[in-house]
Amino acid sequence: MTTQSQPTIGVFDSGLGGLSVLGALAAECPSAHLVYAADTAHVPYGNKTPAQIRARVLAMGQALINEGCTTLVVACNTATAEAIEALRAAHPNIPIVGVEPGIKPAALNTQSGQIAVLATAATAKSQRLAQLIARHAPHKTVHIIPCHGWATEVEALHLSSPAIIKEIELLLLPLIDQGVDQVVLGCTHYDFLAPTLNMLIEGKAQLVGVAGAVARRACQVSGAATLTTTQGNIRLVATANPERLTAALPALGLNALSARLSKSAQLMVAD
């Protein structure tokens, strides 16, 4: 049950990627109840049309509000780029936090003036990413790398698969050798590839993720930032195969979340 002292924050993504944000929220906002919803019946979002993405985002947002959530986190760069404004227009009284590639911190921290952005196909060509680059990195060289199939590999828990290693070696390492020193993780799924990326980059560049910043913002707008009440619980729901969420936690390094689960992962209808 949602109470005034313990708000409920709903987090959603197409699949497992947003669990990186959930993990950060659990650490940042221990007094809030958390609901994580995976739209696994429609994963991934990165290869869908803008209209399809907007439809799914509106459906997932409404489903989480129906679950009692008082704050929403769109834990998906693609969904944020294509549909967060539509979601905010549909629910003007609900705080809604999105996820955007960390162009600003990358631009502030680069020494070489060269930044690489790893993104889904939809995010790579989005107007929102172009605007972020124009606003925060107008005098930097920004290399946008569409990472076809990477989110699917993460969904399959292939976190160091030969396919991903080959792609990194082919697409990213030549840019590192040319001087790129900031690598922006433009999809929440890619946070779980950080160990593989760091192994191949060999300290020549810094990975830039935003899960911590998103968690702090969501904790603030939900009203939970200053609470000292008892620890909130966590629920996992999905539009298909919810059991995969619970099973994925150990593989993704999120065992700490298991102790706060109020029940096993449940099926959720979001149409």
Q: Looking at the annotation, which residues are catalytic?
A: 76, 187
Distance in angstroms (rounded) separating the CA atoms of residues 23 and 14: 16
Pairing of strands 114-119, 182-185: parallel
Alpha helices in the chain (DSSP H): 19-28, 50-66, 77-90, 103-109, 121-124, 127-136, 150-155, 162-167, 173-177, 194-201, 211-222, 243-251, 255-258
Distance in angstroms (rounded) separating the CA atoms of residues 246 and 170: 33
Nearest 5°: CA angle at 177, between 173 and 181?
85
Contact 118, 190 (CB under 8 A): yes
Distance in angstroms (rounded) separating the CA atoms of residues 50 and 53: 5
